């Protein structure tokens, strides 16, 4: 508070892109398609790739682990269905290009997924019944990773770490990307589950307080979570806060700044300042894992975009292909379109519609030819007019044009000196640039370049 004006909780920079959430925000979560084949990717998270623990022709049951790994930063993957392993083969992967997947053919009698009973997560849910070790162990076995997009194994995040003692947990319910509504829907429909998950995560991490940040364009979600978290008696250090609606409010560094007013060191991670950030969908998954012993095999995916006939929010088996989901939603109304895994600002456009959904896929956004025409790569590009807009919107206060032009001229060290690594790839700079320069694209390319150069060094 300053000069009597309540400053709404926010961060510096950012953009106000069109929300477009109205396409799906009133659509309740529905069961997804019963699919002909699921391809469970062996790498759905940051960290080591799992090794398959089943082989061709093996029978698997729903919830059975099909990929495991002993590395510390890793999460096992499970079969979402009862069925037979058809093969272990390469599939298109949104981030990695191609990666190994366990392809399972579901039993013909396989039914659409069922949700665990809501009663298990009543408002008076008592997390004290579970010990912190028990919770961490359940989270590890369930293969839970950050479901907001990054996919960092959750167990690593919540387990107490003597190097970085955590005192504050932030729950991310911002969902700042345009179009996406999956987190909004679960906050309304799975409120009890999220509340239980938050309490469990708090207990496991040993945090003294939990702050839930939700953008102020979702007042009903704020009210619902507030009611659920306060119904269980005293607040016990849990508070729900409204933060300003602005992209990328849901970036964890931006959310920490908005809520705590603290900056995470450039290129650093939240634990360095004693904070751990979890997404609401992750909290719900924690509750299911700990209370029901249910591994992470399904998630809510928003299928949306102007080119989709029947947009909606669906509870989908992880491993379902993009094509099956799009067809389930009445297919595409256009001949030419862009299929994006995630939202339009940070999502990844896929060329192969057989690409399977992973644990981190919150949405499929199909953009029309007209929208594509308005996007950067189709529009006339001019030289940088040095207007400074990219600097002003960059939530990390970088100099995007400088980094991008360094990458363009192959001066990777110059780009590195200008904090290329601190870029969160939010896309704000590309979004505003009047010269239509793909700043984010150059920066991403530069990062890949740098990683490759580093890899080549002798080990």
Q: Quick check: 395 binds another protein (CB under 8 A)?
A: yes
The pair of structure tokens assigned to 398 is 């970088």
Which residues, numbered 185-204, are part of the site for another protein (CB under 8 A)? Answer: none
Q: Which of 53, 122, 353, 450 binds another protein (CB under 8 A)?
A: 353
Number of Cβ within 10 Å of residue 376's Cβ equals 17
- Compare residues 1 and 18 and give the one whose CB is closer to ligand SF4: 18
Evaluate whether 160 touches 133 at the Cβ level (below 8 Å). Answer: no
Choose the contact partner of 40 out of ligand SF4, another protein, none; CB within 5 to 8 A by kind: none
Q: Quick check: 310 binds another protein (CB under 8 A)?
A: no
Q: Which phi-psi region, left, alpha or beta, contains residue 327 (left: φ > 0; alpha: ψ -120 to 50)?
A: alpha
Interaction mask 264-303, another protein, x per CB under 8 A = xxxxx-----------------------------------
- Compare residues 37 and 425 and give the one whose CB is closer to ligand SF4: 425
- Compare residues 54 and 332 and give the one whose CB is closer to another protein: 332
Q: Quick check: 244 binds another protein (CB under 8 A)?
A: no
Q: Quick check: 404 binds another protein (CB under 8 A)?
A: no
Q: Quick check: 258 binds ligand SF4 (CB under 6 A)?
A: no
The pair of structure tokens assigned to 278 is 């979890």
Which residues, numbered 336-395, are part of the site for ligand SF4 (CB under 6 A)? Answer: 384-390, 393-395
Q: 387 - beta bridge partners?
A: none
Q: Would you call 85 helix, strand, or coil by DSSP?
A: strand
Q: 276 - beta bridge partners?
A: 169
Q: Would you call 81 helix, strand, or coil by DSSP?
A: coil
Which residues, numbered 111-140, are part of the site for another protein (CB under 8 A)? Answer: none
Q: Quick check: 433 binds ligand SF4 (CB under 6 A)?
A: yes
CA 98 and chain centroid, separation:
20
Sequence-separated contacts (24+) of 417-423 with Cβ below 8 Å: 419/266, 419/267, 420/446, 420/447, 420/450, 421/267, 421/447, 421/450, 422/266, 422/267, 422/396, 422/398, 423/396, 423/398, 423/447
Binding segment toward ligand SF4, per CB under 6 A, in 49-57, 139-147, 258-266, 436-444: 436-444
Binding segment toward ligand SF4, per CB under 6 A, in 31-39, 109-117, 410-418, 431-439: 431-439
Q: Quick check: 348 binds another protein (CB under 8 A)?
A: yes
Choose the contact partner of 437 out of another protein, ligand SF4, none; CB within 5 to 8 A by kind: ligand SF4
Choose the contact partner of 261 out of ligand SF4, another protein, none; CB within 5 to 8 A by kind: none
Task: Determine if the peptide bond prior to 248 is cis (ω within 30°).
Answer: yes
* φ, ψ of residue 325 in degrees (nearest 5): -65, -45
Q: State the residues that interact with ligand SF4 by CB under 6 A.
A: 384-390, 393-396, 398, 400-401, 423-429, 432-435, 437, 439-440, 443
């Amino acid at each position: 508070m300053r000069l009597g004006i309540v400053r709404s909780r926010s961060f510096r920079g950012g953009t106000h892109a069109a929300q477009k959430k109205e396409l799906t925000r009133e659509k309740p979560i529905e069961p997804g398609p019963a699919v002909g084949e699921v391809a469970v990717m062996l790498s759905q998270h940051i960290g080591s790739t799992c090794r398959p623990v089943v082989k061709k022709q093996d029978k698997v049951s729903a919830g059975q682990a099909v990929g495991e790994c002993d590395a510390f930063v890793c999460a096992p993957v499970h079969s979402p269905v009862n069925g037979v392993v058809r093969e272990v083969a390469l599939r298109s992967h949104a981030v990695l290009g191609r990666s190994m997947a366990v392809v399972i053919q579901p039993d013909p009698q396989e039914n659409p997924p069922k949700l665990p009973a809501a009663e298990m997560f009543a408002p008076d849910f008592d997390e004290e019944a579970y010990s912190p070790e028990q919770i961490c162990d359940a989270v590890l076995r369930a293969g839970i990773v950050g479901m907001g997009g990054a996919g960092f194994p959750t167990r690593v995040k919540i387990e107490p770490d003597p190097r970085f003692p955590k005192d504050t947990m932030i729950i991310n319910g911002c969902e700042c990307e345009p179009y996406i509504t999956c987190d909004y829907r679960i906050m309304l429909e799975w409120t009890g589950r999220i509340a239980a998950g938050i309490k469990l995560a708090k207990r496991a991490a040993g945090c003294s307080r939990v702050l839930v940040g939700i953008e102020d364009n979702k007042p009903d979600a704020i009210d619902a979570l507030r009611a659920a978290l306060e119904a269980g008696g005293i607040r016990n250090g849990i508070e729900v806060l409204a933060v300003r609606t602005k992209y990328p409010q849901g970036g964890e560094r931006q959310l920490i700044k908005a809520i705590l007013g603290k900056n995470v060191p450039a290129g650093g991670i939240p634990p360095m300042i004693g904070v751990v950030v979890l997404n609401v969908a992750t909290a719900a998954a924690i509750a299911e894992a700990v209370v029901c012993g249910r591994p992470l095999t399904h998630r809510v995916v928003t299928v949306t975009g102007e080119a989709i006939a029947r947009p909606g929010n669906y509870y989908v088996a992880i491993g379902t292909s993009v094509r099956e989901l799009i067809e389930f939603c009445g297919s595409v109304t256009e001949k030419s379109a862009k299929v994006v895994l995630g939202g339009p600002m940070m999502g990844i456009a896929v060329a192969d519609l057989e690409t399977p959904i992973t644990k981190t896929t919150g949405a499929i956004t199909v953009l029309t030819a007209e929208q594509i025409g308005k996007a950067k790569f189709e529009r006339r590009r001019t030289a940088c007019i040095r207007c400074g807009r990219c600097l002003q919107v960059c939530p990390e206060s970088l100099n995007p044009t400088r980094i991008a032009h360094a990458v363009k001229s192959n001066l990777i060290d110059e780009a590195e000196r200008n904090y290329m690594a601190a870029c969160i790839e939010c896309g704000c700079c590309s979004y505003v640039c009047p010269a239509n320069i793909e700043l984010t694209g150059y920066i991403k390319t530069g990062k890949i370049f740098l990683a490759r150069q580093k890899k080549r060094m002798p080990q």
